[in-house]
Amino acid sequence: MKFALLGGDRRSAILGRMLMQDGHKVHTYCLEKAGLPPDIPAAGCLQSAVYGAEWIILPVPAEKNGNILCPLGNQKLSTEELIATLWPGQILCGGRLSTESSLAALRAGIKVHDLMQRRDFTVGNAAITAEGAIHKLMEASPRCLSGCHILITGWGRIASILAPKLHALGAYVSIAARKPGDRAMAAAQGLGCCSFKTLALLAEDIDFVVNTVPAEVIENRILKRLKKDCILLELASAPGGFDAQSAIELGLRVIAAPGLPGTYAPESAAELMKDSIYAIIAEEE
């Protein structure tokens, strides 16, 4: 089977190596800065990269502002150009593809698989992110996490995996969540909980904030009440859960950690991508 890997971070480069070790043909494009081994061909143009490939593998997340994310590439690659280059029957696979891109691909007869729509992938991705978040917190502070008060905003996949891990390390963990049912689930696990409306009551006691919500849920009035040595870790995609510039101006330390699986544990993240791709192949057979 031939795979074309287009764009992405270290995950994509490692995934290419793994696929080749499994006996597949692999071509890459927009991964020139990844330090790929010489036995993985780097195509000189998009057309040669995707020619004859059954699978077109995009990053996680796949695109932003109409372009494929190519942090290790020497050129830009627009999603529109990519779809126009593919043939009917080819399979396009990536993470968090836009609705517009997915529909355009389907209209062109291209099969689409979004890894972020698969529970096997999203749970594994959240677990890597949670471990990476703990690493970031430990790295950022001279204090142990044990005994610290950590606020986590949201109760999605990442938060629900991260919170028990921090609790097991001896941290006092509070969850700020909108839904009463989510707060009840957090409380049932021995965690503190509050709504976003009552968050101000906790603010002065918090040592770390970990945001997992891609919307501004921590207002500037809350930021002003945080401890001056409080550390804020942003895990969510833009616009994030708080105004980072305002937090910095208040003297708070802000750590932005987008794409944490690819930076913290790219080998594990690549293996997760490979396993999910193989699961799709098995399902289609």
What's residue 284's pLDDT? Answer: 84
Closest CA to 235 of 253, 263, 213, 208: 213
What's 42's DSSP letter?
Answer: B
> Taking 80 as the threshold, does the pLDDT of residue 40 lie above it?
yes
What's residue 39's pLDDT? Answer: 84
- Name the residue with higher pLDDT: 179 or 38: 179
pLDDT band of residue 35 (cuts 50, 70, 90) is confident
What's residue 258's pLDDT? Answer: 85
- The mean pLDDT of 133-157, rounded to a whole number, is 96
What's residue 106's pLDDT? Answer: 97
What's residue 259's pLDDT? Answer: 87
pLDDT band of residue 37 (cuts 50, 70, 90) is confident
What's residue 230's pLDDT? Answer: 97
Whole-angstrom distance between the N-terminal and C-terminal Cα of the chain? 14
CA–chain centroid gap for 65, Å, is 17
pLDDT band of residue 137 (cuts 50, 70, 90) is very high
Domains of the chain: 2-117 (3.40.50.720), 125-262 (3.40.50.720)
pLDDT band of residue 22 (cuts 50, 70, 90) is very high
| Contacts for 273-277: CB closer than 8 Å, 24+ residues apart | 273/11, 273/15, 273/57, 273/60, 273/115, 273/121, 274/15, 274/18, 274/19, 275/120, 275/124, 276/115, 276/118, 276/120, 276/121, 276/124, 277/55, 277/57, 277/93
Closest CA to 211 of 187, 175, 186: 175
> Taking 80 as the threshold, does the pLDDT of residue 285 lie above it?
no
CA torsion angle 58 59 62 66 (round to 10) = -70
pLDDT in tens, 199-247: 999 999 999 999 999 999 999 999 999 999 999 999 998 899 999 999 9
pTM attached to this predicted model: 0.93
Provide the H-helix boundaries in the chain.
10-21, 46-50, 79-85, 99-107, 119-140, 157-168, 180-188, 220-223, 244-249, 260-264, 266-284
Whose tokens are 């330090």? That residue is 35
pLDDT in tens, 52-73: 999 999 999 999 999 999 999 9
Mean pLDDT of the chain: 95
pLDDT band of residue 33 (cuts 50, 70, 90) is very high
pLDDT in tens, 69-119: 999 999 999 999 999 999 999 999 999 999 999 999 999 999 999 999 999
What's residue 20's pLDDT? Answer: 95
Q: How far apart are CA 100 and CA 103, in angstroms?
A: 5
| pLDDT above 70 as % of the chain | 100
CA torsion angle 58 62 66 70 (round to 10) = -70
Q: Is the alpha carbon torsion for 74, 78, 81, 85 positive or negative?
A: positive
